[in-house]
Amino acid sequence: MTTHWNRKDQHIHLAEMQYQNTSTNGLDGVRFVHQSFSEIKTEDVQLNTQLGSLSLDYPFFINAMTGGSEKAHVINQNLATIAKETNLAMAVGSVSVALKEPETAESFKIVRKTNPNGLIISNLGAHHSADNAKKAVDLLEANALQIHVNTPQELVMPEGDRDFTNWLNNIEEIVKSISVPVIVKEVGFGMSKETIQQLLDIGVDIIDVSGRGGTNFIHIENERRDHKEFDYLLNWGQTTAESLLEAHFYRKQADFIASGGIKNPLHMLAAFGLGAKAVGISGEFLHMILTKGNQVSIEQIESWKEELTFLMTMIGAKTIVDIEKKPIILSTDLTNWCSQRYIN
């Protein structure tokens, strides 16, 4: 086994180990004002949503995780089966390894084989060229490409990148030359309005703010270090709620995805209340398939669709974009964030 095969399996193992962590993504600090007359019925509610030119039947999806090892192959096959049965979109983990070592490509291709007509999103890091981005799309006949930005993870990763000078240039080239929509995503450290402006300036119009409060890649990479030096850095980054507040002014210029610690339909509702058009879920789905298997996971997802419909009915929102028009109250932590960051 080569090092990166070990790394992929370690990521899966360590992500699952930290599942019980009690960190918060801030979405519990977003409360809808209850109204006694919702004046709609459940069958009025439509769960479909739009991310740029991508149409999703459901506003939550399986976010990027894995590929590149035997264990990852099995996980990808299970996730793809679930995506097919529930009609959720699905992103794979970084296909970088498959470009370097074609013998690992099958662990990604299985996703398209399992779900020939599904909405599948490929994934690469921002150090890659436009040529590689095209290969990443072709590998899966992908409907879209995620480019992940993950500086803290790379720096804490013993074998990670140390040079971040070309990321914006690379993304700009990729956006210009790729025929499918490009989504730029964080990996659990959140985004700022400055970052979002930089992405808008180079033509990115679908952004996953992927905030703190769920899977924590500083923790995961630190656990892989002999001396675990970075224990003090575990709270780095903006929570998912803070990141969506940072995105507030840019909602007309881009479609935002929320991810980071999404565990239930109320988190989804809160994210939509703050302007997200869709939510991505990784850690929770990983935990689900590892501990409950495919069938129970499918039932859980079907239940979530119904529960989200109920929550939307309760607040009188017929569509995902209606949700952000409903009155919300923010926690003092979140209002403090807004006032120091001049967001109102």
Cα separation, 324 vs 304, in Å, equals 20
Q: Give dist(CA 28, CA 42) in Å, integer.
A: 24
| 123 backbone dihedrals φ, ψ, rounded to 5° | -150, 135
CB closer to ligand FNR, 147 vs 315: 147
52 is in an annotated binding site: no
Is position 293 annotated in a ligand binding site? no
Q: C-beta of 44: minimal distance to ligand FNR in Å?
A: 29
Nearest approach, Cβ of residue 237 and ligand FNR (Å): 11
Residue closer to ligand FNR (CB basis): 125 or 313: 125
State which residue, 146 or 297, has the beta carbon closest to ligand FNR: 146
Q: How far is the CB of 161 from ligand FNR (least distance, A)?
A: 14
Pairing outcome for strands 120-125 and 90-91 = parallel
Query: Three-state DSSP class for 148?
Result: strand
Q: Shortest Cβ distance from residue 253 to ligand FNR (Å)?
A: 22
Are 260 and 211 within 8 A, CB to CB?
yes
252 burial class (0-12, 13-18, 19+ CB within 10 angstroms)?
exposed
Which CB, 188 or 273, lies closer to ligand FNR? 188
Judged by beta carbon, residue 275 or residue 280, the one nearer ligand FNR is 280
* 8 in a known ligand binding site: yes
Provide the minimum distance between the beta carbon of 328 and ligand FNR in the complex, in angstroms, as a whole number.
Answer: 22
Calpha distance 168→291 (Å, rounded): 39
H runs (alpha helix) in 187-282: 193-201, 217-223, 240-246, 265-273
With contact defined as beta carbons under 8 Å apart, do 119 and 90 qualify?
Answer: yes
98 belongs to an annotated ligand binding site = no
Binding site for ligand FNR (CB under 6 A): 11-12, 15, 63-66, 93-94, 123, 146, 148, 185, 187-188, 210, 214-215, 259-262, 281-284, 286
What's the closest the beta carbon of residue 37 comes to ligand FNR, in angstroms?
35
Tokens for 88, please give them: 């959720």
Tokens 């989504």: give the residue: 183
Torsion of CA 116, 43, 320, 22, to 10 degrees: -80
24 is annotated as contributing to ligand binding: no
Residues comprising the binding site for substrate? Answer: 7-8, 153
Residues comprising the binding site? Answer: 7-8, 64-66, 94, 123, 153-154, 185, 210, 215, 261-263, 282-283
Residues comprising the binding site for Mg(2+)? Answer: 154
Residues comprising the binding site for FMN? Answer: 64-66, 94, 123, 185, 210, 215, 261-263, 282-283
